[in-house]
Amino acid sequence: MKDCLKKLNECVEFGKINQASPYPAQLKGQPGADEWTKIALDEGISPKTILDEALIPAMNAIGLKFSEGKAFVPQMLLSAKAMNIAMKYLKPFYQSGDIKQKGVFIIGTVQGDLHDIGKNLVGMLAEGNGWKVIDLGTDVSAEKYIKALDENPDGICGMSALLTTTMVNMGPIVSAIHKKHPNTKIVVGGPPLSTKFALEIGANAYSRDTQDNVNWLNSIKA
């Protein structure tokens, strides 16, 4: 792997956004994800190689640390910012077709719930793994999911809930989605949920954490 890809990988995993960013301490004053992505492109490295050899491994590494309790939300958010800076340079290549996306992942926090950190982390890791992410935000109704699916019929839906009082809204939303788009695959996640609950409401999968979610997504397109 070229040195710039190794540096970019490190910056994304540890949340080094740009040269001015003071975090992490061991990389203070050094170029960050912003600079290394530009350097990689300037050196003629293809956007797909940058994604496959630097960004995806970095996001998988921080996702694994998070699922093992070795990294925490602030670290994940810094990695997300570093990855988003890098993706800023790669997104035009998605639009031109130079990079093929794995699919469309439509995400939202379920109706009645305004918490979004978990959803945002899931979307970040999915995008870093080559998925087009459509983020519907919080308090998302069945109608919003259905509208997004009308525009993206092959989309996969993800919905999250932080509260036991809002997780009960998932069942009716899943039913409404399947009534209009019966073949849509749906994954649900959040602290109060379980695999048993997911199956009971008709979802295809339960995601324990961000890495588990992206593993399931990638297994669909394997």
Q: Residue 185 sits in which domain range?
A: 104-220
Using a 10 angstrom Cβ sphere, with 0-12 exposed, 13-18 middle and 19 or more buried, the burial of residue 38 is: middle
Q: What is the pLDDT of residues 3-34, one digit of tens each?
A: 999 999 999 999 999 999 999 999 999 999 99
Residues 120 and 59 occupy one common structural domain: no
Residues 114 and 60 occupy one common structural domain: no
Cβ-count burial 125-154 (b if 16+ within 10 Å, e if not): bbbbbbbbbbbbebbbbbebbbebbeebee
The CATH number for 44's domain is 1.10.1240.10
Q: How far is CA 28 from CA 16, 21, 138, in A?
A: 8, 7, 35
pTM: 0.76
The percent of residues in the chain predicted with pLDDT above 90, rounded, is 67
Residue at which a domain ends, from 41, 72, 96: 96
Residues 162 and 115 occupy one common structural domain: yes
Residues 76 and 122 occupy one common structural domain: no
Domain count within the chain: 2
The CATH number for 168's domain is 3.40.50.280
Residues 50 and 131 occupy one common structural domain: no
pLDDT of residue 165: 93
Residue at which a domain ends, from 59, 74, 96: 96
Residues 122 and 23 occupy one common structural domain: no
Cα(78)–Cα(27) distance, rounded to whole angstroms? 13
pLDDT band at 125 (very low <50, low <70, confident <90, very high): confident
Q: What is the DSSP letter of 27?
A: G
Q: What is the pLDDT of residues 192-206, one digit of tens each?
A: 999 999 999 999 999
Residues 154 and 215 occupy one common structural domain: yes
Stretch 147-169: mean pLDDT: 96
Residues 151 and 55 occupy one common structural domain: no
Cα(11)–Cα(26) distance, rounded to whole angstroms? 11
Q: What is the pLDDT of residues 30-86, one digit of tens each?
A: 999 999 999 999 999 999 899 889 998 998 898 888 878 898 888 988 998 999 899
Whether residue 222 has pLDDT greater than 60: no
* Joined tokens for residue 15: 């949340």
Residues 121 and 53 occupy one common structural domain: no
Residues 90 and 130 occupy one common structural domain: no
